[in-house]
Amino acid sequence: MVIMKMLVSIFVALLLPSLIFSAPDFPVFNVVDYGAVGDGLTDATNAFIKTWEATCTSSPSSPTMYVPSGNTFLLHPIKLEGPCVSPAVTIQINGNITAPIEPSRWRCYDKRCDKWIHLKHVNGLTVHGNGTINGRGHKWWNVNDRLRPTAFEISRSENISLTGLNFKDSPRMHIHFEKSKSARVTNITIDAPGESPNTDGIHVSGSRDVFIDYCQIGTGDDCISIVDGCSHLNISNIVCGPGHGISIGSLGKHGSNDNVEDIFIRNIVFINSTNGARIKTWQGGKGHASNIIFERIRTQDSYNPIIIDQFYCDGEHCTEHDSAVQVSNVTFRHVHGTSQGEFAVKLDCSASIPCTGIVLEDIDIRSGYEDQARAYTSNVQGIVMGLNIPQTHL
């Protein structure tokens, strides 16, 4: 026994220095240590700013800003900006974050309230956890749309990961990726009432190489919206409802030149959504929406499961134009389920710039009621293959 204890002591003595030497140095900066009080009432904004400054300026690799569980932190609008010293920075949110409930009590930086939580110029950013980010938007939804803030925005950043979090009741968009590259979003839940205005789930603009996977999204607007400057997006395994579907656009508003290309959307379930797979453009616009695939889609009583609308007009006085955003090389493949709208397939395109290269393959959408779901097409060039329900002619 004595010999055994001596051997163990020698083994530990030899091994311990190497363990200490090889242990990773991942410093953790807890918002509580910087003065945050997690009672849901005390303003924690300055404490979060101080914690971020310590995290972002930390020289050891992979520093973490930590929001602990069992707490609810009240935040006014906040900007967490880089670039940071470390090439990889983590924000771990296990606690809950909540906004002030009264719009009039929001204290905004730079006299702007268009963003609540804004991360900018942070490359190698990971945001993860199991906490909830609650925008408490109910009282905002009656305020002018231009004044309402996006809940969570990541802009001008690269190599981003956003996983595990819950987003609830944003005043406007829940998540916005703006002018960013190489982002991965997984296992996110977004929850807002179907009547909440312009509360898009995930909005992507001016970004490329974005992967969105295994998310459950219910909102009062698009579950996912993809607008000008986006390319090489992969979206899969999404449950959408309520909401306005997964939308390319709107594009071309007020004559703008908007371009979206190389979008792959697959394994989607739409439940009682206003739309399903949608492309929407304004008359008078320029640019293109091309190389887009929607495949393996299940629709459960959505109103417009498949829709291309080149005459989109949202609350404005719109007139006829010869110019339009070119819609081309779009495939809808393996789309099955039920529809409760008049048209299960609606492809309404411009006479001057028709939709080209449209493919409908294995479409089987039945009416959820007694009336047979119908198809409507105008100025569309393409092919139909396999199942063709409702009967559609291109």
Summarize the confidence of residues 247-262 as an average pLDDT. 95
339, pLDDT greater than 50: yes
Poorest-pLDDT segment among 174-178, 207-211, 230-234, 311-315: 311-315
- The span from the CA of 302 to the CA of 278, in Å, is 12
Contact present, 327 and 289 (Cβ < 8 Å): yes
With a CB cutoff of 8 Å and minimum separation 6, the contacts of 139 are 101, 102, 103
- Reported as a pLDDT band with limits 50, 70 and 90, residue 16 is very low
* Span of 4-13, 171-180, 333-342, 375-384 with lowest mean pLDDT: 4-13
pLDDT of residue 196: 97
Decide: 340 and 366 in contact? Cβ < 8 Å: no
Q: Classify 332 as helix, strand or coil.
A: strand
Fold classification of 243-248+263-394 is Pectate Lyase C-like (2.160.20)
pLDDT of residue 147: 86
Inter-residue contact 372 to 390 (CB < 8 Å): yes
Burial class (CB in 10 A: 0-12, 13-18, 19+), 387: middle
| Encoded amino acid at 275, one letter | N
Nearest Cα residue to 204 out of 186, 164, 231:
231
Please give the torsion angle defined by the CA atoms of residues 151, 127, 292 and 347, in that order, rounded to the nearest 10 degrees.
-30
- pLDDT higher than 60, residue 231: yes
pLDDT of res. 52: 98
Q: What is the pLDDT of residues 181-200, one digit of tens each?
A: 999 999 999 999 999 999 99
- Of all residues in the chain, the percent with pLDDT exceeding 90 is 83
Residues with catalytic function: 244
What pLDDT does 324 receive?
A: 87
* Better-scored residue on pLDDT, 219 or 15: 219
Query: pLDDT band at 174, cuts 50/70/90?
Result: very high
Choose the most confident range, by mean pLDDT, from 13-17, 34-38, 317-321: 34-38
Q: What is the pLDDT of residue 59?
A: 87
Q: Are 116 and 140 within 8 A, CB to CB?
A: no
Local confidence band at 14 (pLDDT 50, 70, 90 cut-offs):
very low
Listed residue (377, 284, 288, 285) closest to 332, CA to CA: 377
CA distance 339 to 349: 21
Q: Burial letters for 12-48: b for 16+ Cβ neighbours within 10 Å, e otherwise?
A: eeeeeeeeeeeeeeeeebbbbebebbbeeeeebbebb
Whole-number pLDDT of residue 298: 98
Q: How confident is the model at residue 145 (pLDDT cuts 50, 70, 90)?
A: confident
| Whole-number average pLDDT of the chain | 92
CA atoms in the 13 A half-sphere facing the CB of 346: 21
**Angle at Cα 246 formed by Cα 240 and Cα 249, nearest 5°?**
155
* pLDDT per residue as tens digits for the range 351-371: 999 999 999 999 999 987 766
- pLDDT at position 25 is 61
Q: Write the single-letter amino acid at 239.
A: V
Confidence at 295, pLDDT banded by 50, 70, 90: very high
Measured distance CA(67)–CA(391) in Å, rounded = 54
Distance, first Cα to last Cα, the chain? 86
Say which CATH architecture domain 27-221 belongs to: 3 Solenoid (2.160)
pLDDT above 90 (res 10): no
Task: Indicate the Cα dihedral angle 254, 356, 373, 278, nearest 10°.
Answer: -40
Say yes or no to pLDDT of 248 above 70: yes
Residues of the chain with CATH 2.160.20.10: 27-221, 243-248+263-394
Cα distance between residue 270 and residue 326, in whole Å:
26
**pLDDT of 144 strictly over 90:** no
Query: 157: helix, coil or strand?
Result: coil
Tokens 């609810």 sit on residue: 72
Tell me the per-residue pLDDT of 98-122, one tens digit each, with 9 for 90 and over: 999 999 889 987 767 899 999 999 9
pLDDT score at 20: 34
